[in-house]
Amino acid sequence: METLRRAIEDYLYGLDDTLDLSMVAAHALVRDIDSQALAELAGLSTGSEYEFRELVPTVVEELSVELSPLPEAVFRKAGEVARAFQAGDLDFLTAARRVTNLMFDSDYLDFEERPDVGLKVFDNLWLLNEWVFAIDYGAEEDGWYCFKTREDAESYFETVASALVGPGS
């Protein structure tokens, strides 16, 4: 149920462009999570956006899925990226880009109540966002005001990743 809940949050909040919600629904059915709307969802093709929008709220209702608020879902998704980075599955720049995109595209830092409140490491996340932007647009020399070197940016991101994953993870 947790995998289904996370996939529904990712879909509703637009947190994962690569999400195959039909496949997640099919896997949930195999794991004996059953509802009429879930079965319909599992049978949809990836281009059935209208049907997805119609069925997802029904799945949530039929299965009494408790959805996390947007800030918690964004923090969780960013934590997944951080874990992949720490495991060596994502390089620094890809992971930093994904985390900053998640945080800034959702206006995460504008929420008063969010999981990282009180963690000072996120206070300078905008600097990393600016640095990644400079790298992506071939203006690395303009990113000097954010971080003096790529190593400085990576060191900061390692601290962010550790905070996202949490202690003992």
Q: What pLDDT was estimated at residue 143?
A: 56
- What's the farthest any 2 CA atoms get from each other in the chain? 56
User: What is the pTM (predicted TM-score) of this model?
Assistant: 0.86
Contact 42, 22 (CB under 8 A): yes
DSSP result, the chain:
-HHHHHHHHHHHHT--TT--HHHHHHHHHHTT---HHHHHHHT--TT-HHHHHHHHHHHHHHHT--PPPHHHHHHHHHHHHHHHHHTTSS-HHHHHHHHHHHHHHTTGGG-SS-TTTT-GGGGGHHHHHHHHHHHHTT-GGGGGGT-SSHHHHHHHHHHHHHHHH-TT-
- Residue-level length of the chain: 169
Q: What pLDDT was estimated at residue 147?
A: 85
pLDDT per position as a tens digit, 149-165: 889 999 999 999 999 99
pLDDT per position as a tens digit, 69-97: 999 999 999 999 999 999 999 999 999 99
pLDDT per position as a tens digit, 125-144: 999 999 998 888 877 666 56
